Amino acid sequence: MRNLLVDEAYRSGADVSRVIVNAEVKAPDDGADALTPPGATSHLWLSNVDTCWQLKAGSAGQASKLKGEITKPIAARTLKRGGRFVLVASGAGNGERGITARKQALVADARGAKLPHGRIEVWSSETLTTWINEHPAIATELRGMPRGFCSLKDWANHPTYRDPWVSSPALEDKLAQVRQAVEFENTNSTFHLHVFGRPGIGKTRFVLQACQGARWSRSILYVPQWADADTAGLLAAVAQAGEGRLVLVVDEVPPEQVKSLAFHASAGVDRIRVITIGHHESPDGGTIAQIEVEALDDDAMEKLVAAAHPTMPPEHVSYVAAFADGYTRLARLAANAVAVNPNLHTADLLHHGDIKQLIPPHTREIARVIFAAQTKPGNVSFFLEQSEGAMATIDRCVEVDTEAVWDELAPYLTDGARSAHFVIGFPPRVLEAMPRQAVLDWISAEPAKRAPLIADITAKDFADTSLAAAILVRWGDLKNVKERLFSAFVTGWWSGDASSHWEQLATYLERIGKQTKLHGVRRWALDSIPILRRMAENDQRREVEERVRRYG
């Protein structure tokens, strides 16, 4: 009943802070189970005066048992001050006859006590049902949620959202924007607001926080998965009803469905508000208002981790915050893992089962964590030192979303100080798997600088489909590109005599020169073979001389 009265007070422009409900089942009520202030204008349900409510279930609402109810202190005082008394009797049978009998009993009691009796009303459970139906969120909760829907209370109580809310001035500003954008009484409000941001950034928790602090919070229904609920059907029913207000929050909405939900909500723009949550911007940003949720800064992230794990040492909190890089879902899983085993390192976390499961929705974020670890000061090569976890995880990221991986890798390669970390130990197959045209476009911006860098990483494979071959075709005329390709090609580990190794490389390039259909690759290979042969001859003489000195 509290939710119904508060929501009705909000709808009718009444002072919500003056709604009082007796929450105890058998508490002394002095004639009032609830008190409500008048609406801003005369209204069917709250009227334009103060109202004292009495709720009677079963036989307690029979006419013979109402003696003395109207003369209790609060009820009598409300009537004396020009207010209204409403009895809601769920057992009011016999239709109008039963309602009339109860009203007559109350009026007779009021006359006997010389109380005003012109504002005494009796409602049946059917009247209450009509009223509740004008509040779809409350009605749906009372009847039992349809498949795919849940109440604000159930949403807030889900284990995923029980961690304390950690805010910042910027977040508070955005929360206020959401509440104002959806406010029914705001003349500049919108009937559809789209909230977007990368997976795991905290969009759903942000919208939940906005909803919990809003005046319209009791009008909310939440859909965790867009595809699991008949949202169009519900919006159509509310629009056709002609009464009632609904704020429908729909999560995991793909871009192509954002406009569809806006269309269905538009049929009741004065009474319906829709908040959609998705990973991408609205495809129609010109007409659909939208707010982006961004990653938390380091300070907010550390507060979030510390609030969820109060006993975690500060150095572990900082480590988890740095690992998660502003993404709340990743932070929660990492913090849980570190709380159980404080000795976990980045590679261990990357290989942790719960975090590996995040790769499909969080490819970009996990790839960024790996690349950040690769450039961490003191690391010779993250991939060499932590090969199992790092290799398996980055391979999975590449398999899921190569464009996202490239988007995260490119800034590291662009930064001269950090790019050097990718020359040693970084798996060439990752670069080979990147969107080829995107990589070549990136090189084109500064070919003299970037082509040699990529050559350092990839110059082991010169098949026509390789990235090294593509570089030779486009920039093989640049002296430093040719030299860096050759230098990277001959650099590495081998066993046995150096002369034999150089001869093997020369033989490989002879084969490439014969098989390739690319002029740039053939020219580079043929130019490199004589150099390798001279290196082989020089080392062979040195090796013979060493044997002579050693064995006589």
CB within 8 Å of 285: residues ≥ 6 apart:
none
Helices 359-374 and 328-340: angle between axes, nearest 10 degrees:
70
Tokens coding 421: 């970390």
pLDDT (0 to 100) of residue 50: 93
What pLDDT, on a 0 to 100 scale, did the predictor assign at position 29? 60
- Orientation angle between helical segments 479-490 and 519-551, nearest 10 degrees: 40
Q: How far apart (Å, rounded) are the C-alpha atoms in residues 195 and 279? A: 8
**Distance in angstroms (rounded) separating the CA atoms of residues 87 and 81:** 18
CA–CA separation, 167 vs 84, rounded Å?
44
Q: What pTM does this model have?
A: 0.62
Nearest to residue 140, comparing CAs of 204, 217, 220? 220
User: What are the angstrom distances between the C-alpha of 25 and each of 28, 68, 139, 218, 259?
Assistant: 9, 19, 21, 22, 46
Query: Do the beta carbons of residue 296 and residue 202 sit within 8 Å?
Result: yes
Are 454 and 422 within 8 A, CB to CB? no
Integer CA distances (angstroms), 337 to 127, 333, 344, 372, 469, in order: 54, 6, 8, 20, 44
Per-residue pLDDT of the chain (552 residues; tens, 9 = 90+): 888 888 888 778 888 888 898 864 444 567 788 999 988 765 678 888 999 999 887 776 688 888 888 999 999 999 999 999 999 886 555 668 888 888 999 999 999 999 999 999 998 878 888 888 777 778 777 777 788 999 998 999 988 888 888 888 888 999 999 999 999 888 888 899 999 988 778 899 999 999 998 989 989 999 999 989 999 988 988 888 777 789 999 999 998 899 999 888 888 888 899 999 998 888 876 778 999 998 888 888 899 899 889 999 998 888 888 878 777 888 888 888 888 888 766 666 665 666 666 677 778 878 887 887 777 655 545 565 555 666 778 888 899 999 999 999 999 899 888 888 888 778 889 999 999 999 999 999 999 899 989 988 888 889 999 999 999 999 999 998 899 899 989 987 888 899 999 999 999 999 999 999 999 999 999 999 999 999 999 999 999 998 888 876
Alpha helices per DSSP H over 446-497: 447-458, 467-475, 479-490
Asked if residues 124 and 92 have their Cβ atoms less than 8 Å apart, the reply is yes
**Cβ-count burial 232-266 (b if 16+ within 10 Å, e if not):** eebbeebbeeeebbbbbbbbbbebebbbebbebbe
Q: Are strands 51-56 and 34-36 parallel, antiparallel or unpaired?
A: antiparallel
Half-sphere exposure of residue 477: CA atoms within 13 angstroms, side-chain side: 1
Q: Give bridge partners of residue 277 from the DSSP assignment.
A: 195
The pLDDT value given to residue 384: 57
Q: Which position has the token pair 């029913």? A: 237
Q: Residue 165 and residue 544: Cα distance in Å, rounded? A: 74
User: Where exactly are the structural domains of the chain?
Assistant: 2-133, 144-292, 451-552
Q: Which CATH architecture has domain 144-292?
A: 3-Layer(aba) Sandwich (3.40)
Nearest to residue 348, comparing CAs of 321, 376, 382, 379? 382
| pLDDT at site 403 | 94
Decide the pairing of beta strands 34-36 and 220-223: unpaired
pLDDT at position 358: 64
From the list 38, 91, 329, the residue with the least C-alpha distance to 206 is: 329
- Cβ–Cβ under 8 Å, residues 127 and 99: no
